[in-house]
A and B are shown apart, each in its own frame.
Chain A
Amino acid sequence: MRPAPIVNVVRYLLLDKITYLALPWAWAAFGFLIDVVVLQLTPAGHQGGHRWVAGLAPVFIFAFVQGTQTVARALPFGLALGASRRTYYLGAASLAAALGASFGLLVALGQIAERATGGWGMNMAYFRVPYLLSGSWYQSWLTAAVAFVLLFAYGTWYGLVYRRGGMVGTVIFGGAQVAVLALAAVLTTWAHDWAGLGRFLTAITAAGLTAILAAGAAVLLTGGLATIRRLTV
């Protein structure tokens, strides 16, 4: 029995092992080594608290890049091979979910190892991020996975907009997002509710934030699916 078309798209994308499998982890490993070297060369604080390094940030940035590459480089040949736009997009989204789940698992396992070794013997918090990725292993796994998918979907949508609208369309797309944020800021100012927003952000739990990220990812995935429907190559 032949695999489902969506599975074929995932297998096709995974032929590029460097982009999807090697580079994110290479970035993570490189960031880890750099952080170890930097922490070895800099004095620890007197409080003996965690030494936060934000070394995972490049992986999230690379998730965005992977999303754009999935459209910019792999899409035209994927469609030439008879994949429908919808199938291609669902395949790419499935791959993002699988990569996100794997990445979240690595973060969760890394946190366990990090806690067990006293932050790799130097109080380093590489796999932990204050507030976001500092709770239980399953919560960290979920948050990391959802954030990964969100950035991948965001990159994919940017790639699709670029394919449909070129540079002008992409600038308008980015500008529209800035305009929405600016409008939200103006409305918040008119409503004199900045303090309320601050209270909301400080009161929200990591699980609540994960839910918001998941809702954002769902919006991005839906937007991407709508954009690819009339895409031409």
Chain B
Amino acid sequence: MTPAISLTGVGRRYGDHEALAEFTAEIATPSIVGLLGRNGAGKSTLLRILAGQEFATSGRVAVFGAGPPVSDAVLRRMVLIREDQVYPDLQVRQLVAAAAMFYPNWDAGLADSLLEAYELPARRRVKKLSRGMRTALGIVIGLAARAEITLFDEPYAGLDALARQLFYDQLLADYTAHPRCIVLSTHLIDEAAELLERILVLDHGRLVLDAATDDVRGHASVVTGPAASVDRFVADRATLSRRTLGAQATVMMTGRLDGRDRDLAGQLHLRLEPVTLQQLAIHAAGLRDNRSLADARTV
């Protein structure tokens, strides 16, 4: 099967700064992929390259099996909603009408219902919108476009928790009804974790973790308790980090736990907690060495 997106050794330099380096990944459709990483990790650069708004300085980008997305035939099958999207000074309804012109699968009913749900005033000019309202406008366009590749770059800026939940719910419902390739870059990893089928963690422009979320979930645990007991429990296991506070120790370890492990932990008075996606992403970014984490996961 041809992947919707294929990136091979993709890099982007801005003078001395390497925003993206040797990025290689394939993204199939349908899927919801999370692009995770700190500020400046290269997430936005990657999404802009994917949407044809930026050019890679090295490597190969292929969308729908063709070359870089520069033709209308490919671009009309994609949408990128950016946190810093610059809009012309038009009314909300005019911007929505503009989007409807370009996307063949545009769902006007969904757009109307989302405009209502986010309480966006149709006749208000975009420069009079609050930050959260501008963000919501991007979400409306991104979802109603029903583009085969939908890219969201930090789509929550300025949204409150209720509005974010509305976005998650709507995204999942729409994806279920119309499966497609959705790539979502976010800082709010745990909040979006339930949506994601796969995560790509970037750090300093490099891919440091590429894993299915089901594989990652439950694969790592945090063990807390008396230092000696913790050391005994994690002996012969791959560990990702260790912190001590007085006689207490906290170790992040990989490997699935079975009943005997849990019994042993109980006997040793240890607390076991699953590592969240966010903790894992932060740790992966901290490692800056893909092999370290990959090696740890194979233990």
Q: Mark A65-94, 1 if CB is under 8 A from B, else 0.
A: 000000001101101111111010000000
Residues in B whose Cβ lies below 8 Å from that of A8: 101-102
Asked whether any CB of chain B lies closer than 8 Å to the CB of A216, the reply is no
Tell me the B68-112 residues at the A interface (CB within 8 Å).
70-72, 75-82, 85-90, 94-95, 97-99, 101-104
Beta-carbon contacts of B36-62 to A below 8 Å, as 1s and 0s?
Answer: 000000000000100111110000000
Q: Establish whether residues B53 and A81, one from each chain, have CB atoms under 8 Å apart when the complex forms.
A: no
* Complex Cα–Cα for A11 and B147 (A): 20
A88 to B24, CA, bound (A): 31
Given A15-B97, A15-B98, does the pair A232, B48 have CB atoms closer than 8 Å? yes
Partner of B90, one of A3, A15, A79: A15
Q: Are A80 and B90 touching (Cβ within 8 A)?
A: no
A5 touching B72 in the complex, CB below 8 Å, given contacts A77-B87, A82-B102: yes
The B-contacting residues of A in range 1-35, CB under 8 angstroms, are: 2-3, 5, 8, 11-12, 15-16
Give the docked Cα–Cα distance between A108 and B77 (Å): 44
Known contacts A230-B55, A232-B54: A81-B102 contact under CB 8 Å: yes
List of B residues within 8 angstroms of A74 by Cβ: 88
Least distance between B64 CB and chain A CB atoms (Å): 13
Q: Are B86 and A77 in contact (CB under 8 A)?
A: yes
How far is the CB of B13 from the nearest CB of chain A, in Å? 13
Give the number of residues in A that approach B within 8 Å (Cβ atoms).
Answer: 23
Identity of the chain B residue whose Cβ is nearest the Cβ of A230 in the assembled complex? B55
A16-B88 in contact (CB<8A) = yes
Interface residues on B, range: 20 to 34
B53 touches A79 (CB 8 A): yes
Please state if A232 and B101 are interface contacts (CB–CB under 8 Å).
Answer: no
Chain A residues near B89: list those with CB within 8 A: 16, 73
CA distance A80 to B97 in the complex (A): 14
Report the Cα distance A34→B75, complex, angstroms.
48
With A5-B72, A233-B53 already in contact, the answer to whether A82 and B101 are too (CB < 8 A) is no
Interface pair B104/A73, CB less than 8 Å apart = no
Do the beta carbons of A82 and B75 come within 8 Å of each other? Answer: yes
Question: Which B residues are CB-close (under 8 A) to A15?
Answer: 88, 90, 94, 97-98
Known contacts: A15-B98, A77-B87. The answer to whether A84 contacts B81 by CB under 8 A is no
The answer to whether A80 touches B101 (Cβ under 8 A) is no
- Which of A2, A81, A85 contacts B99 (CB under 8 A)? A81
B147 nearest in chain A by CB position: A82
Q: Cβ of A87 and Cβ of B72 under 8 Å apart?
A: yes
Q: Which of A3, A12, A84 contacts B70 (CB 8 A)?
A: A84
Query: Bound complex: CA of A233 vs CA of B52, how far in Å?
Result: 9
B70 touches A80 (CB 8 A): no
- Residues 178 to 216 of chain A near chain B (Cβ within 8 Å): none
Contact assessment for B53 and A83 in the assembled complex, using a CB-CB cutoff below 8 Å = no
What separation, in Å, do the CA atoms of A12 and B147 have in the docked complex? 19
Query: How many angstroms between the C-alpha atoms of A55 and B72 in the bound complex?
Result: 42
By the criterion CB–CB under 8 Å, are B88 and A80 in contact? no
Cα distance A1–B219 in the bound complex, in angstroms: 51
Q: A8-B102, A74-B88, A233-B53 are in contact. Are A80 and B76 (CB under 8 A)?
A: no
Q: Which residues of B contact A230 (CB under 8 A)?
A: 55
B94 contact set on A, CB distance < 8 A: 15
> Are A82 and B53 in contact, with the CB atoms below 8 A?
no
Contact status B104-A81, CB under 8 Å: no
A77 to B147, CA, bound (A): 16
CB distance from B165 to the nearest CB of A (A): 25
Q: Which residues of B contact A2 (CB under 8 A)?
A: 104
Chain B residues, Cβ within 8 Å of A11: 101
Q: How far is the CA of A85 from the CA of B81 in the complex (A)?
A: 18
CB closest chain-A residue, reference B71: A84
* Complex: chain A residue closest to B95, CB-CB: A77
Q: List 26 A-B contacts (CB under 8 A).
A: A2-B104, A5-B102, A12-B101, A15-B88, A15-B98, A16-B88, A73-B86, A74-B88, A76-B85, A76-B87, A77-B87, A77-B88, A77-B98, A80-B51, A80-B53, A80-B80, A80-B81, A81-B79, A81-B101, A81-B102, A81-B103, A82-B75, A82-B147, A83-B102, A85-B70, A233-B86
Known contacts A8-B102, A81-B102; can you find 17 more A-B pairs with CB under 8 A?
Answer: A3-B101, A5-B76, A15-B98, A77-B86, A77-B95, A80-B51, A80-B53, A80-B85, A81-B79, A81-B103, A82-B72, A82-B79, A84-B70, A84-B72, A85-B70, A232-B48, A232-B54
Interface residues of chain A, those whose CB is within 8 Å of chain B, are: 2-3, 5, 8, 11-12, 15-16, 73-74, 76-77, 79-85, 87, 230, 232-233
Q: Which 9 A-B pairs have the closest CB atoms?
A: A76-B86, A82-B75, A81-B102, A82-B76, A74-B88, A5-B72, A15-B94, A73-B88, A8-B101
